[in-house]
């Protein structure tokens, strides 16, 4: 089973909590046990599982990546000015896989699923959720 989550982003770099949307996809699938793969379409976006208690961790992630990979110094910037966004998305990675246990995401209490925008704002972003049931 596969379903696409559509979203828009309002900032150049931001982590957007998509856990509730992924839960809705899992519920609609009817799969109780298996895996859900969450994949960000786009070369300047990523998926991350991270702390959900407050926004400070998400802010820290963005700040760390800005320090590690500053804008405006990369060869690709000559093409379209977003060389840093490509490097950040490559470092974080485009996907995560989460176990499904009794119809629920197998996340811990403090984990949520985040769409990582590194080249926004964007009016349309897509996240592909693919669910595989246990045999």
Instruction: Go through the domains of the chain in sequence order and give each one's CATH number.
Output: 2-133 (2.60.120.460)
| Token pair of 49 as six digits | 């599982």
Residues 6+ apart with CB under 8 A from 122: 8, 9
> What is the pLDDT, as a whole number, of residue 122?
98
The pLDDT tens digits of the residues spanning 89-129 come to 999 999 999 999 999 999 999 999 999 999 999 999 999 99
Is pTM beyond 0.75? Reply is yes
Strands 95-101 and 104-105: antiparallel
Nearest to 96 by CA among 84, 110, 114, 108: 114
- The rounded mean pLDDT for the chain is 97
């Amino acid at each position: 089973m596969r379903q696409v989550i559509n979203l828009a982003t309002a900032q150049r770099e931001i982590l957007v909590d998509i856990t509730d949307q992924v839960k809705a996809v899992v519920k609609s699938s009817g799969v109780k046990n298996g895996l859900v793969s969450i994949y960000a379409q786009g070369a300047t976006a990523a998926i991350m599982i991270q702390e959900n208690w407050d926004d400070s961790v998400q802010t820290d992630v963005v700040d760390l990546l800005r320090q590690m990979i500053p804008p405006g110094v990369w060869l690709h910037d000559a093409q379209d000015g977003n060389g840093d966004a490509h490097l950040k998305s490559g470092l974080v990675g485009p996907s995560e896989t989460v176990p499904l246990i009794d119809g629920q995401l197998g996340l811990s209490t403090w984990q949520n699923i985040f769409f990582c925008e590194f080249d926004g704002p964007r009016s349309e972003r897509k996240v592909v959720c693919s669910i595989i049931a246990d045999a």
